[in-house]
Amino acid sequence: MTDGELLVEGDPELAAKCYPSGSKNEATAMCLCGSVEIKLKTDEPSVSGFCHCWACRRTHSAPLYQVLYTDNANIDPETGDKREGEFEITITKGFDLLKPGDPGPGNPNYESWDDNPNFGGIGRLFCSKCGVVMMNALYQRPHSIFNDTDEPVDFVSVFPATFTEKMNEFIESWQPQFHVHCESSILPFEAINDGLEKFATWPPPDED
Ligand SMILES: [Zn+2]
Ligand SMILES: [Zn+2]
């Protein structure tokens, strides 16, 4: 199995049936205790999909997880500082309760965001009252896998599992595009017959 290998071909017609869309472009994410609330408003998320990697599974205590990324938020992913202005992801309640988790180094698969060649940032943020993981605050390093510019690009995300709305209420661009890191799946991912492409790791970046 090689990096970025396509393990299961996509079937766009089936995917459209499995993931019907609606008209909303705005969601509200809420933690279990209600202290943290995050709004997502965008016409075009940068990534929408499912990840099966060990780190996402363990972080969320889930057999797989679903994520929506954008490239701007009212938190600086490098420092954790609050930003003023209009953003696609806005932490509307409990900003100061959001804390990064410690991913290791007791973990045998430990790789800090400092070591990661593609991504940096403060990482996965959880509500320090109820413990629910609410967002990823990352950035793409200059000249890395998805960023061929000289500047870092913010890479921030929220999770549909915490939304107060259902996924079929949202526009087509919000619907999941693929399953990634299927090589570390604990589920028989071939049996998830949802028409989406399933990749060993990440899909290779577009050639053009
Ligand atoms: Zn993952
Ligand atoms: Zn909470």
When pLDDT is averaged across residues 24-41 and rounded to a whole number, the result is: 98
pTM, entire model: 0.93
pLDDT of residue 2: 63
* DSSP H or E segment with residue 15: helix 12-18
Interval 147-185: pLDDT, tens: 999 999 999 999 999 999 999 999 999 999 999 999 999
Ligand 1 centre to CA of 189 (Å) is 15
Ligand 1 centre to CA of 54 (Å) is 7
Ligand 1 centre to CA of 191 (Å) is 19
Ligand that comes closest to the CA of residue 59: 1
Ligand 2 centre to CA of 76 (Å) is 21
Does residue 107 surpass a pLDDT of 70?
A: no
pLDDT of residue 208: 52
Does residue 1 surpass a pLDDT of 80?
A: no
Lowest mean pLDDT segment, chosen from 94-98, 179-183, 199-203: 199-203
Ligand 2 centre to CA of 34 (Å) is 5
Percent of residues in the chain assigned helix, strand, coil, to nearest 5: 15, 35, 50
Ligand 2 centre to CA of 192 (Å) is 31
pLDDT of residue 111: 72
Task: Spell out the alpha helix ranges (H) of 47-204.
Answer: 54-60
Query: Residues with beta carbon < 5 A to ion ligand 1?
Result: 51, 53, 56
Cis peptide before 12 (omega within 30 of 0): no
The residues, ordered by sequence, that sit 6+ positions from 157 with a Cβ below 8 Å of its Cβ are 47, 67, 68, 69, 70, 89, 135, 136, 138
When pLDDT is averaged across residues 194-202 and rounded to a whole number, the result is: 95
What domains lie within the chain, and their CATH numbers? 6-199 (2.170.150.70)
DSSP string, 159-172: -GGGBSS-GGGB-G
**Residue 57: CB atoms within 10 Å:** 19
pLDDT of residue 44: 97
Ligand that comes closest to the CA of residue 131: 2
Ligand 1 centre to CA of 94 (Å) is 25
Interval 65-80: pLDDT, tens: 999 999 999 999 999 9
Ligand 1 centre to CA of 171 (Å) is 24
